[in-house]
Amino acid sequence: MKNILLVCTGNTCRSPMAEAMLDNAVENSDVLDGEIKTDSAGTFAFEGGEPANYAKLAMNEIDLSIDKHKSKQIDRDLAEWADLILAMDSAVQEQLAVMYPEFEDKIKLLKEYVFGTDAEEDSLNIEDPYGEDLETYQETRDDIKNTIDALVKKLERENKEI
C-alpha cells in the first residue's frame, strides 16, 4: 500500500481536484486498485472550508465531484502517513521542506516527479486558480488531469515491477 498526499496552498482548488482525479483513476486501474490511498491538504488551509465554487463546477464537467471535500491544514501526522507528498507548485514544495525537513526526501513537485526536470521551472508548476474565472479553473483542471493521467501510468509501471 502506498499513501500519496497531494498538497496546495488552501486545499480548496488544486489538491482536492487532483485527489478526486487520482482516486478515480486508481479505482479504475486493474494494477493500482487497493494499492494506493490518497489524501490532500494545504500549507495555509482553513480547516473545514468548502471547495471553491468554480473548482466544483470544473470537476462536475468531467463527472467528478469534490462537493463533499472539506479543506484541511497539513500536519505532522499527515506528513508522516504519506509515502509520497506531491506539491502543486514550487512555493508549496519549499514551504513543505521548511515545515517538515525530516520528510524532505518524500516531498516532490508533482509535475517534476511525473515528467522529470527537463521542462522549464515555470511549466512544472500547476498554477493556483484561486479567485480567477471559470475558464482559469478549467485550464487548471485540464493541467492537473494530464499530470494525474501520466502519474497513474508511472505508478502502474512501478507497481508491475515490484
Summarize pLDDT for 19-52 with one digit per residue, the tens: 999 999 999 999 999 999 999 999 999 999 999 9
Of the candidates 14, 23, 141, 143, the residue annotated as catalytic is: 14
The question of whether 157 is a catalytic residue gets the answer: no
Residue by residue, pLDDT tens for the chain (162 residues) are 899 999 999 999 999 999 999 999 999 999 999 999 999 999 999 999 999 999 999 999 999 999 999 999 999 999 999 999 999 999 999 999 999 999 999 999 999 999 997 766 668 999 999 999 999 999 999 999 999 999 999 999 998 775
* Within-domain flag for 162: no
* Within-domain flag for 134: yes
Residue 132 CA to its chain's centroid (Å):
19
* Within-domain flag for 148: yes
Please state, in angstroms and rounded to a whole number, the distance separating the CA atoms of residues 88 and 79: 15
* Within-domain flag for 133: yes
Of the candidates 8, 13, 23, 143, the residue annotated as catalytic is: 8
Structural domains of the chain, count: 1
Of the candidates 13, 23, 89, 128, the residue annotated as catalytic is: 128
* Within-domain flag for 39: yes
- The domain that contains 75 carries what CATH number? 3.40.50.2300
The question of whether 128 is a catalytic residue gets the answer: yes
* Within-domain flag for 123: yes
Which pLDDT does position 162 carry in this prediction? 58
* Within-domain flag for 79: yes
Phi, psi of 3 (to 5 degrees): -100, 120
Owning domain of residue 110? 2-157
The question of whether 89 is a catalytic residue gets the answer: no
Rounded to the nearest 10 degrees, the angle between the axes of helix 134-161 and helix 14-27 is 40
